[in-house]
Amino acid sequence: MKRSFLLALCLSAAAAFAGVYDIADFTARDAVSSDNQVFTSYGELSTASVDEAASVPSGKIVLRQKFANESGINAYQLYIGDVGDISSMTALNIPSNSSYKNIVKSKLYVRRGMKPGDDAEKVYFDGKYVYIPGATSAIAFVNGVATELTGESSANSASAAPKQECDEFDVSCDEDIIAAKSGKNYDVSGDLNSTNSRADARDYSASAAAQDVTDRFGIADEVRFWSAVALSAIAAGSAVMGIYQQMKSSEANDAYKKLNDVSDIVESKIKSACGKIEGVTNQQACVDFYKSTRIVEGPNQKGAFMSSGWTYAELQDRMKVNKDTKDSYATGRNIWFGVTALSLTAAIVLFAW
C-alpha cells in the first residue's frame, strides 16, 4: 500500500510539473488579423487545429497567439494563413528526440529561468521550423524535460557590396551617413514591422546576456518553482502518513485501555481470594504470587485468577505489547508531521522567493 501511495505521489508530482508548461487546449475565441509581413494578405485569420499546425500545408503558416486573462490563466488559439516574408525571424530547429506536434502544444521561452506564464506571445509554425519574433533560440518543456530549439536565420545573407571609392568632398562617404544606411539605425519611415523585428532581436539579445549570469550561477526560476511543487507534494504525502500513524496509535491505545480494565478485574479477584485463604498471614505476598503465576492449576482457582482466558501476568505482557505499539506509532506520527512542517515551510519560502 505504501509503495502504491508513493508511486501515485511521484506520478502526480511529475504530471503537475509537466502541466504548467503545456497548453491543454486552444479555446480562445478572439479574432486575429494578419497585421504584419508574415502573412501575405491582410484580414481576419482562420483558426487551425493542432494537427494542421503539426503538418502545415505548403504555402501556409500557423500563428499560435497567447491571450492574457485577468484571472491569470492565459488562453491560446491557432490561426492559419498564407505565408509571407519570414526572413526577419530565425528558423528554430526541432530536436530529433521531440515531435513537432508536442512542440506545438508546449509553451516556448526565449531564455531559461522564466516563469511558466512568461512564455512567448506569438509563435509561428511552418511544419518544419518554429519562429519566434526576435528570438534566436527557445526553450520548451516537453513532458517535463527541458528541450532547446536552436537555428540559423532563415534570411539569405546579402552579398557584400564593393568598397566605395570616394574623395574627401563626397558627402556619401560620411561615416554617420554610412552608419545610418546600414542596419545599425532604424528608419521609422520605412517598413515598421521589419524595423521592430530587428529592434526586438537586439532587445532579446541584451536581455539574454543580462540573464546569463543568473542562468549559470544562480537558481533558475523554474528550479525554485518545481522544487516548491515537489516539497508541497512531500508535505501532503507526509501529512497523510502522519494521520495514518495517529489512527494506528489510537487503535493500540484503545486496546491497551481495554486490557487494563480486564487487568483490574483480575487483580481484584486475586486480592479477594487471598483474603479468604486460611493460614495466610502475608496478604501482599499472596497477591504478588498469584499475579506472577502464568498457569493457574485447579478448576476451583481458574475462575478466580483468569478473565477471558488471560492470567494477570499474561495480561501485563499483552498490555506492554500494546503500549510499545502505541508509542511506536506515536513516534512515527511525530516524525511524519515534522517532515510535513519542514517541507511546507520550505515550499512557502521558495514560492515567495
293: cell is 503465576
* Predicted local distance difference test score (pLDDT) of residue 33: 78
Q: Is residue 23 within 8 Å of residue 29, measured between CB atoms?
A: no
Q: Is residue 121 within 8 Å of residue 75, measured between CB atoms?
A: no
* Predicted local distance difference test score (pLDDT) of residue 291: 82
3-state secondary structure (DSSP) of residue 275: helix
249: cell is 496509535
Q: What is the distance between the alpha carbons of residues 36 and 14, in angstroms, rounded to a whole number?
A: 39
Residue 179 sits at φ, ψ, to 5 deg, of: -65, -40
* Predicted local distance difference test score (pLDDT) of residue 327: 92
Q: DSSP letter for 173, please.
A: G
* Predicted local distance difference test score (pLDDT) of residue 308: 66
Q: What is the distance between the alpha carbons of residues 188 and 204, in angstroms, rounded to a whole number?
A: 20
Indicate whether this model's pTM tops 0.85.
no
Please report, in tens digits, the pLDDT of each residue of the chain (353 residues total): 445 544 444 544 444 444 678 898 898 887 787 767 888 877 788 899 999 999 999 999 999 999 987 766 789 999 999 999 998 899 999 998 899 999 999 999 998 878 888 899 999 999 999 999 999 999 998 887 889 999 864 433 333 334 445 555 554 555 555 555 555 454 555 555 555 555 555 555 555 555 554 444 444 666 788 888 899 999 999 999 999 999 999 999 999 998 888 888 888 888 888 888 877 778 888 888 888 877 655 555 544 566 666 788 888 888 899 999 999 999 999 999 999 999 999 988 887 77
* Predicted local distance difference test score (pLDDT) of residue 11: 46
For the chain, helix (H) and strand (E) counts, in that order, are 9, 10
Gap between the terminal Cα atoms of the chain: 36
* Predicted local distance difference test score (pLDDT) of residue 56: 93
